[in-house]
């Protein structure tokens, strides 16, 4: 029987904890989320009947600050997945050294089957159901898969109406007009771009001759592909839920983004261009390219297909796209993997910037945002790289040991209450 996503996350944790001889008490605390909330979300559908949905909000750790993490709407959302993602958020925030702990939320729903009015009602009721445990000093939600700035705007408005005042600092990833930050939508993809270029620089690879395949063409993958193409890389393949699109001479990423933006569900369905052939998502993962960016869902590269992956560089834009078994195989083949808690941390970094701006009610320009994002991403990348080189360990092991030490230090300094 295959391991669950949460079991895989704990495997990585246990491996790193052993390496640094983590204190027993810290280990016990860090293995278990602080709070798990499961809620029922009743929604009156457009035709008048009532549907029940299940929602979750998990707070893994508040040792270093308020909990932070996105909310996803997906038909496969479950408690195990949300616990895994909340745990990863703790390590991610600690790794890039921002004062947050990890959280995550989700609703088990296929949002493509709901009208916008039904989505608004779902969002408002879910917000009310998790309201007792969230807040600007407790837990600050953000967008994730199938949620966006509109979703965050609805959540912000719900809380504002209940409190009788405009609440800016309780959610991030909001529309600019509602206290959102410039650069937030592109931040995760920009961080993936920064890590990819950082890796190429370490190996003195020519950017213009670098071929890249991107799995996932949502908010993360499309932005990463677009920014890397603008830097001169050759994006030869991308994919989304409709399948893969491949051109060995390079794809017109900007044109593909325009096509997806015209589709009601922001997907590539129906895209055609000279020289572009259709491939499966599985085929994309095994293309003969320099760099592979899995930016879709977790557990895409596993024991079953890892041996067939030919890319030298793997930059994990998604959360948990490579299983531990898959990662071991890739390392044996000489692949270099930038772990998810580093590669996709751009989103939470700029969410932190948004929160700070909302608290101060003083907003930065986009150049300031991007400069500060690049500074923090590069600092984290260099720290992980140096630690991996010094101790002769993988980048994931290095990232985890850095993150675990920081969380453990906070726990030890605060002591256990009471």
Report the alpha-carbon distance of residue 302 to residue 45 in Å, rounded.
39
Whether residue 259 is found in the same domain as residue 116? no
Band of pLDDT at residue 298, cut at 50, 70 and 90 = confident
Q: How confident is the model at residue 81 (pLDDT cuts 50, 70, 90)?
A: very high
76 and 174 in a single domain? The answer is yes
Lowest mean pLDDT among 37-46, 150-159, 162-171, 316-325: 316-325
350 domain-assigned: no
Last residue of a domain, one of 138, 155, 178: 178
Residue 259 bridge partners (DSSP): none
d(C-alpha 151, C-alpha 120), whole Å: 8
Q: Of 7, 5, 9, 4, whose CA–CA distance to 400 is shortest?
A: 9
Residues linked to residue 253 through DSSP beta bridges, in sequence order: none
pLDDT confidence of residue 297:
86
Domain count across the chain: 2
Does any domain span residue 122? Answer: yes
Q: Is residue 384 part of a domain?
A: no
Asked whether the beta carbons of 318 and 296 are under 8 A apart, the reply is yes
**Residue 1 pLDDT class (50, 70, 90 cuts):** low
Boundary of a domain, candidates 272, 305, 338: 338
User: Does 224 lie in the same domain as 86?
Assistant: no
Q: How far is CA 139 from CA 59, 67, 101, 175, 275, in A?
A: 8, 4, 9, 19, 48
Shared-domain flag, residues 250 and 329: yes
Residues 60 and 171 grouped into a single domain: yes
CB atoms under 10 Å from CB of 78, counted, come to: 16
What does the pLDDT look like over 68-78, one tens digit per residue?
Answer: 999 999 999 99
pLDDT at 141 over 80: yes
Predicted pLDDT at 337: 97
Residue 177 has pLDDT above 70, yes or no: yes
Mean pLDDT of 279-295: 96
Residue 85 has pLDDT above 80, yes or no: yes
pLDDT at 93 over 80: yes
Please give the model's pTM, rounded to 2 decimal places: 0.94
**Tens digit of each residue's pLDDT (9 = 90 or more) over 180-233:** 999 999 999 999 999 999 999 999 999 999 999 999 999 899 999 999 999 999
CATH number, domain containing residue 245: 3.40.50.720
Q: Is residue 373 part of a domain?
A: no
pLDDT for the residue 3: 82
For residue 212, the enclosing domain spans 187-338
Has residue 369 been placed in a domain? no
Calculated CA dihedral for residues 65, 417, 33, 152, nearest 10 degrees:
-40
Does 362 reside within a domain?
no
So which residues are the catalytic ones? 104
**Residue of higher predicted confidence among 359 and 263:** 359
Q: Check whether 21 has a pLDDT greater than 80.
A: yes
Average pLDDT, the chain: 96
Please indicate, yes or no, whether residues 52 and 138 belong to a single structural domain of this protein.
yes
Looking at the fold, whether 191 and 324 belong to one and the same domain comes out as yes
Work out the pLDDT band at 305, boundaries 50, 70, 90.
Answer: very high
* 166 shares its domain with 207: no
Whether the predicted pLDDT of 2 surpasses 80 = no
Same domain, 206 and 290: yes
The last residue of one of the domains, among 307, 338, 369, is 338
Torsional class of 302: left (φ above 0), alpha (ψ -120 to 50), beta (otherwise): beta
The pLDDT of 239-255, averaged and rounded, is: 96
- Whether 379 maps to a domain, the answer reads no
Q: At what angle do helices 5-19 and 79-95 cross, to 10 degrees?
A: 30
Residue 345 pLDDT grade (very low, low, confident, very high; cuts 50, 70, 90): very high
Strand order, beta sheet including 101-108: 35-44, 50-59, 101-108, 67-74, 139-143
Query: b/e map of 316-335 (b: 16 or more CB within 10 Å)?
Result: bbbbbbbbbbbbebbbeeeb
The reported pLDDT for the residue numbered 407 is 98
CATH number at residue 95: 3.40.50.10860
Whether residue 44 sits in one domain with residue 164: yes
User: Using 50, 70 and 90 to split pLDDT, how confident is the model at 264?
Assistant: confident
Same domain, residue pair 160 and 104:
yes
324-332 long-range contacts (CB < 8 A, ≥24 apart) are: 324/8, 324/11, 324/12, 324/15, 326/301, 326/302, 327/301, 327/394, 327/396, 329/303, 330/301, 330/306, 331/394
Answer yes or no: is 100 within a domain: yes
Verify that 148 and 112 share a domain, yes or no.
Answer: yes
Question: Has residue 328 got a pLDDT over 90?
Answer: yes
Q: How many helices (H) and strands (E) does the chain have?
A: 14, 12
**CA-CA distance, 195 to 381, in Å (whole number)?**
7
């Amino acid at each position: 029987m295959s391991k669950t996503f949460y079991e895989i996350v704990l495997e990585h944790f246990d491996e790193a904890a052993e390496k640094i001889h983590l204190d027993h008490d810290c280990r016990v605390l860090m293995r278990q989320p602080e709070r798990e909330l499961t809620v029922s979300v009743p929604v009156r559908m457009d035709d008048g009947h009532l549907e029940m949905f299940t929602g979750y909000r998990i707070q893994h750790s508040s040792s270093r600050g308020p909990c932070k993490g996105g909310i996803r709407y997906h038909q496969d959302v479950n408690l195990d997945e949300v616990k895994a993602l909340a745990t990863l958020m703790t390590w991610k925030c600690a790794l890039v050294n921002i004062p947050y702990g990890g959280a995550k939320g989700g609703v088990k729903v296929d949002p493509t089957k709901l009208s916008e009015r039904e989505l608004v009602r779902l969002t408002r009721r879910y917000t009310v159901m998790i309201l007792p445990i969230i807040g600007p000093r407790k837990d600050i939600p953000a967008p994730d898969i199938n949620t966006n700035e509109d979703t965050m705007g609805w959540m912000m408005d719900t809380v504002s109406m209940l409190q009788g005042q405009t609440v800016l600092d309780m959610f991030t990833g909001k529309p600019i007009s509602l206290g959102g930050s410039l650069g937030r939508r592109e931040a995760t993809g920009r961080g993936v771009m920064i890590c990819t270029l950082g890796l190429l620089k370490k190996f003195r690879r020519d950017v213009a001759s670098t071929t890249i395949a991107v799995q996932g063409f949502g908010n993360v993958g499309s932005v990463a592909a677009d920014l890397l193409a603008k830097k001169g890389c050759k994006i030869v393949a991308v994919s989304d839920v409709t399948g893969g699109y491949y051109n060995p001479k390079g794809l017109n990423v900007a044109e593909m983004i325009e096509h997806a933006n015209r589709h009601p569900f922001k997907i590539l369905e129906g895209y055609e261009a000279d020289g572009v052939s259709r491939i499966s998502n599985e085929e994309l993962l095994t293309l003969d390219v320099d760099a592979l960016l899995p930016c879709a869902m977790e557990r895409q590269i596993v024991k079953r297909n890892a041996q067939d992956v030919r890319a030298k560089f793997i930059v994990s834009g998604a959360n948990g796209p490579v299983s531990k078994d898959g990662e071991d195989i890739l390392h044996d083949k000489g692949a270099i993997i930038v772990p998810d808690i580093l590669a996709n941390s751009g989103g939470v970094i700029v969410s932190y910037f948004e929160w700070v701006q909302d608290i101060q009610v003083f907003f930065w320009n986009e150049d300031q945002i991007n400069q500060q994002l690049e500074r923090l991403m590069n600092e984290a990348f260099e720290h992980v790289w140096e630690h991996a080189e010094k101790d002769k360990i993988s980048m994931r092991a290095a990232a985890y040991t850095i993150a675990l030490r920081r969380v453990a230090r906070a726990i030890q300094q605060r002591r256990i209450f009471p």
